[in-house]
Amino acid sequence: MVECKEPPCFVRLFDGHMIIHSGKRDEPTAGRWRLYILRNELLQEAYLWEIPADCRNLRSRASFILVDCEKSVLHVWHGAKSSFQTKQRVLDIADWVIKRYFSIFWLHLLDFKNGL
């Protein structure tokens, strides 16, 4: 199976809670920021894919989660043309991440919209 080309039946095994990180498990996190893009809009097929944290990777039709590793803050960013389903899905996943990892990372959620 090719990474980031997983078939929907595989992604459904994770019930919308799959996160693909860059790098290897034993490598330390490079830098302060980690940026994740939401892939797929269906509830059971949605997942986060880590991409380089660079403003050139932001897309107007997508929603993202930006994690500040130093301050333990999770930012949600919506592109100006991001669909309602995409916005809702990324907020659902962000909420799940906070509930699951809050005790470990003390994460907090900040929601941003493009153009504000």
Q: What is the identity of the amino acid at 44? A: Q
pLDDT of residue 3: 64
Domains located in the chain, CATH noted: 14-22+32-113 (3.40.20.10)
pLDDT at 112: 54
pTM of the model as a whole: 0.80
51-67 confidence digits (pLDDT tens): 999 989 999 999 999 98
> Are 90 and 65 in contact, with CB atoms under 8 Å apart?
yes
CB count within 10 Å of CB 29 equals 12
- Ordered DSSP codes for 44-109: GG-EEEEE---GGG--TT-EEEEEETTTTEEEEEE-TT--HHHHHHHHHHHHHHHHHHHHHH--EE
Q: What one-letter code names the amino acid at 112?
A: F
